Amino acid sequence: MESKTKIVGHPIHPMLIVFPLGLFSSSLIFDMAYLATKKKELATVSYWMLVSGLVGGMVAAPFGSNDWLHIPDGTRAKSVGMIHGLGNFAVIGLFGASWLLRRGKPTQPGAAAIAVALLAGGLSLSTAWLGGEMSYRLGVGVDRGAHLDSPSSLSGEPASHNAAEGEII
């Protein structure tokens, strides 16, 4: 099933999700570094990575939701996509709660703020796997007829076109 929201021939949602995933993961790394060193600068970096990850997640979500709405009902992809989306809603909520817990003292996050972020990070591993299942196993967001010799998405040719043979497969 091809994505319904593309830019320059590629689905938008998978392009955008790398930002919140990377930012949230990095915030956890900075939290661990803060716990090990007690350097307030590390906690501040984590705080702003959380903020950026939350913004990135809210930007990516509508594109994923739009793709999900176009998956045919009654398919495995529809149910996996629903779990993926609801799980990511929970991830955003948990990271958002961690951010709220830090707002008063971003340079000194409490144990609860870090614990909630760790829980969100663990859940995000599961939802990211489900996103991979959607694309790589169920073919959501993959052009019809895609193959190893498909022409560039910038060519205007369908993915099923075989440039070497000059035909559509």
d(CA 141, CA 14): 9
| CB 121 within 8 Å of CB 98 | no
- Domain layout of the chain by residue ranges: 6-144
CB atoms within 10 A of CB 52: 17
The answer to whether 133 touches 87, Cβ cutoff 8 Å, is no
- Rounded-to-integer distance, Cα 141 and Cα 135, Å: 6
Instruction: Look up tokens 């073919």; give the residue.
Output: 139
Tens digit of pLDDT at every position of the chain (169 positions) = 888 888 888 899 999 999 999 999 999 999 999 999 999 999 999 999 999 999 999 999 999 999 999 999 999 999 999 999 999 999 999 999 999 999 999 999 999 999 999 999 999 999 999 999 999 999 998 888 888 888 888 888 888 877 556 565 5
DSSP E strands in the chain: the ranges are: 6-7, 10-11, 161-162, 167-168
Residue 143's φ and ψ, nearest 5 degrees, are -65, 140
